[in-house]
């Protein structure tokens, strides 16, 4: 397996634009996590899914953020409208349902909102 795949790796967008980040989890994993990393706040859990169902979205900062998982092999994190303070690295991670010993991370998407 190629691991967790995120796209794009880098995104630069203007304030007010819609941004969609994509994630393909490892095949067979049925838990998926979206994290945001900033210098100020470290690594924050935004939302996680189990069997494509959102379990906990309490970390989603505002209504401008939304996440979907239409099937077991794909998830999106959307920001609409984007703001400069959304600039961060967004990570997707996947694990088996029990989160036994490891969550596997993608390479991240570096988002810059200007």
Partner 1 sequence: GEDVEQSLFLSVREGDSSVINCTYTDSSSTYLYWYKQEPGAGLQLLTYIFSNMDMKQDQRLTVLLNKKDKHLSLRIADTQTGDSAIYFCAERSRSGGYNKLIFGAGTRLAVHP
Contacts to partner 1 by CB under 8 A:
4, 31, 33, 35, 41-43, 45, 48, 50, 55-56, 91, 93, 98-99, 101-103, 105-108
Least distance between partner 1 and beta carbon 10 (Å): 10
Instruction: Write out the DSSP string of 49-65.
Output: EETTEEEE-TT--STTE
Give every CB contact of residue 40 below 8 A, 6+ residues apart in sequence: none
Q: Which is nearer to partner 1, 77 or 93 (CB)?
A: 93
Least distance between partner 1 and beta carbon 43 (Å): 4
3-state SS class at 109: strand
108, 8 contact by CB (below 8 A): no
Least distance between partner 1 and beta carbon 74 (Å): 18
State yes or no: cis peptide before 110, omega within 30 of 0: no
Q: Which is nearer to partner 1, 65 or 91 (CB)?
A: 91
Which DSSP symbol is given to 77?
E
Q: Which is nearer to partner 1, 81 or 110 (CB)?
A: 110
């Amino acid at each position: 397996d190629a691991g967790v795949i995120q796209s794009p790796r880098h995104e630069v967008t203007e304030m007010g634009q819609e941004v969609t980040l994509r994630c393909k989890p490892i095949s067979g994993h049925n838990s998926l996590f979206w994290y945001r990393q900033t210098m100020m706040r470290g690594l924050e859990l935004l939302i996680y899914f189990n069997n494509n169902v959102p379990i906990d979205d309490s970390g989603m900062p505002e209504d401008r953020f939304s996440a979907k998982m239409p099937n077991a092999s794909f998830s999106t994190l959307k920001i609409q409208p984007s703001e400069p303070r959304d600039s961060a690295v967004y990570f997707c991670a996947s694990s088996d349902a029990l989160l036994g010993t490891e969550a596997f991370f993608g390479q991240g998407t570096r988002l810059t909102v200007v």
